[in-house]
A and B are shown apart, each in its own frame.
Chain A
Amino acid sequence: MKNRKRKRFVRITVSVVIICLLLFFLQRLMMPKYSVGTQDGAMIAEYYDDEPKHNLIIIGDSEMYENISPLVLWQNYGINTYIRGSAQQLIWQSYYILEDTLRHETPEVVIVNISSMQYSEPQKETYNRMTLEGLRWSTSKVKAIYASMTEEESFMEYVFPLLRYHSRWNDLSADDFRLMFHEEPVSLNGYMMQVGVKPAENIPDGIPLADYTFGDIDYEYLDKITALCKEHGVELVLMKGPSLYPYWYEEWDEQMKDYAAEHNVVYLNCVNKEEIGLDFSTDTFDGGLHLNVEGAEIYSDYLGEWLQDNIGISDLSSDSALSRAWKTKADAYEAKKSEKYKELSD
């Protein structure tokens, strides 16, 4: 009798384990592979592969991850930077990414891109997925999912992505099998390099708005970001990147200036800032929305100097381990640059 019971227990246990394993493999197979598809969804997860010794963390959307070159910040100023960026990252997502980051390390300075203050509601599931899927599981991720979900989304689909991606079976390619367990990195410390030139022309003015006030929820999360940085002794810089479009209204700029003054934090608006030295007839690859690699290098050089002069950020260039790591990264950066130029000329 006992033997029969034991056999039954073993049978059930083995069956459950096999089913779980099979579902796990299926899930890994079906999930989108950002490193060969829409690469903007890959960077949040890539952060965990870098040693958490950064003295500068930058959090925000493509205005950060396509405009700033961490290599220039290291080579010219000894600033060890990681950009935790994702497509159309919302302000509450930035907060939870900051929370997640502070579990791993405490940087001297955090820059948060505040262009997302214009959005008071989740925008699109695709963007949510690109931001949230790469975050490691923690209470921050759970809260970020609940704060971000559109009406059509469900929490269980984030816990078990197979429920969301099961219909990809007819889109599967060899890459889905090859990259099931390890995706290739697409960024250099969170920077997504772009090449090519498309001059900025005919940038539309902003559409007049009835009310320019940022939403309550935006301020709520900005307050949380400010409080969290103060709690951890991190210098917070609120930054608007140099992108010329979407339009950054003067009324928005004023609100950020007032907020910064009231909360004793720094606000840096880089839109049309002449001293940066950007030329939007040559330094952008998409008509003024983002910078190409030459533009990103110019902007990063400005930013590094600004951080040293105004914030007093440390120069870590004497750290030999970091220097060695950055030497390898510099080689990868130059190789990627050559590859991108070659693709452009082909």
Chain B
Amino acid sequence: MKKKLIGLLLTMLCVVSLAACGGGNSEGGNDGSNNTPTGNTSSGYTFEYKGVSVSVDTDIETILDKLGEPSSVFEDPSCAGQGTDFVYRYSGVDIYTSPSKDCDKAISTILIISDEVETPEGITIGSTQEDVEAAYGTDYSNNNGMLTYEKGGMHLGILIKGGVVDSIQYTSTALN
């Protein structure tokens, strides 16, 4: 009986140990991940600020020096220490970052907030819907005036209010 019992216990421990070698995070999926790819290039729409290419799902740390000093940085630590989101404010644009699988500050949203800046395609706050369609085409979905163009795993959202552009947002689809 002893031998059988020891054999059984050893088998059980082996199973648990083997299982322990399997994948998965050790603490309830505590990886702070949005599963966003990172890098400096994007096949989606890209914003340009002072000649610097800014794309969602890329690491802001690689371009921070080139963007210059932000007018403010807001820190948003998530509940229970699951990483920190940041909002970098530059003249006319806010850049939001979140922790991703590959880096701590993956760009999640680029928000154009004034007509001081425009997209590389020439659209800014106050442009007309006709200007938007001429620049980006008509292959968009329209949800309550938010024209959403999808390209390369990201969204470009242009909110039309009263016939003119009210907000321009480059957004990672990892946020959906």
Contact = CB atoms under 8 A, between A and B. Distances in A.
A6 B113 CA distance: 80
Given A152-B29, A210-B159, A211-B144, A202 B74 contact: yes
Interface stretch (B15-23, B52-60, B130-138): B15-23
A118 B175 CA distance: 14
A37 B12 contact: no
Main secondary structure of the interface of B (DSSP, over half): mixed
B76 A129 contact: no
A263 B143 CA distance: 29
Contacts of A230: none
Interface in A200-233: 201-205, 207-211
A18 B5 contact: yes
Given A167-B26, A202-B73, A202-B89, A38 B9 contact: no
Nearest to B168: A208
Contacts of B74: 201-204, 245, 287
Contacts of A168: 26-27
A125 interface: yes
Interface residues of B, number: 48
A125 B87 contact: no
Interface stretch (B41-49, B61-69, B78-86, B116-124): B78-86
Contacts of B145: 210
A190 interface: no
Contact of A15 (B8, B77, B81, B94): B8
B72 interface: yes
B27 A37 contact: yes
Contacts of B89: 202, 204
A62 interface: yes
A130 B167 contact: no
A127 B79 CA distance: 9
Given A207-B109, A208-B167, A126 B72 contact: no
Contact of B9 (A18, A40, A152): A18
A9 interface: no
Max chain A Cβ within 10 angstroms of own Cβ: one of B5, B20, B21, B148: B20
A335 B78 CA distance: 28
Contacts of A152: 29
A326 to B, nearest CB: 28
Contact of A210 (B12, B23, B157): B157
9 closest cross-chain pairs (CB), A and B: A210-B146, A125-B29, A129-B28, A202-B72, A87-B79, A40-B80, A87-B80, A208-B167, A210-B143
12 contacts: A11-B1, A18-B9, A22-B9, A37-B27, A62-B80, A166-B20, A166-B22, A167-B25, A168-B26, A204-B87, A207-B167, A211-B144
